[in-house]
Amino acid sequence: MTQRGSLTVVGTGFRASGQITHETQSAIDQADKLFHLVQDIVTHHWLEERNPTAETLVNSYRHGRPRRETYEEIVERMLAPVRAGKRVCTAFYGHPGVFVMPAHEAIRRARAEGFPAEMLPGISAEDCLVAELGFDPGQGGCQSFEATDFLIRRRRFDPTSHLVLWQIGAIGVADFRPGDYWNPEGVAILARELAAIYGAAHEVEIYEAPPYAICPPKRHRCRLDRLAEAPVTLASTLYVAPLPNRADDAPMSLALGMRAEAD
């Protein structure tokens, strides 16, 4: 009986194979074909040792090539062996469903073509950020936006809640480029827009999750009026602490039976 192809997309976390779940490791070991796109050489070698079919997807990126073209190539590379009847596993660093368009699209196409496809969660940069910056998203809520999208679509948000902005080092950039910082002017624009709401003296923090357990995270605190001069890279995430909380809505508190708390 001919084996039916399948696709499993997994996350390796951020710390050099140390944040991989048992479920993910099993999927990696059992795959007939393993693809991967990871950020550190230790995890790269670990994957190749676990599965001899391992193949990196990093060579789909080329200088000046639109990222959408790159993503389309990655999707089709993942699906080709699925269509040939193989059990395919693709490992992305962090969480495979967070800022990984090819993962979602490959699963969608695989299912549309009748193949089993699933995603296994991984530890994301946001998980690391919450743990290391020490704030609780459940206290006042947390809003999360890709930085370019946040600016060009004028996303509505509540400045009295936590705000997380991703990919601030590549604001307004749609292609792949060399170097660690693609658009400093974009950060200056972001700083100006945020300062108009929070005030120029409001402190923010630039964060990068460490790739190795022995390394501390990269953290840089500064005022919004100094953000344009801050050490930003493509891995940088911006955390904006909330403004003071607004007063409770007394009628709503009463409707919820919270008279004592409201008083």
Instruction: Give backbone dihedrals phi and psi of 149, rounded to 5 degrees, phi first.
Output: -60, -40
Beta strands across the sheet bearing 87-92: 55-56, 33-37, 87-92, 6-11, 117-119
193 touches 240 (CB < 8 A) = no
Catalytically annotated residue among 71, 198, 207, 239? 71
Catalytically annotated residue among 15, 77, 87, 93? 93
Q: Which amino acid is at 212?
A: Y
State yes or no: is 50 an active-site residue: no
Catalytically annotated residue among 50, 67, 109, 226? 67
The phi-psi region of residue 30 (left if phi > 0; otherwise alpha if psi is between -120 and 50; otherwise beta) is alpha
Q: Which residue is associated with the tokens 């693809």?
A: 35
State yes or no: is 93 an active-site residue: yes
Our measurement of the distance from residue 65's CA atom to the centroid of its chain's CA atoms, rounded to an integer in Å, reads 21
State yes or no: is 62 an active-site residue: no
Q: Tell me how far apart the terminal alpha carbons of the chain are, to the nearest angstrom.
A: 71
Q: Which are the catalytic amino acids?
A: 67, 71, 93
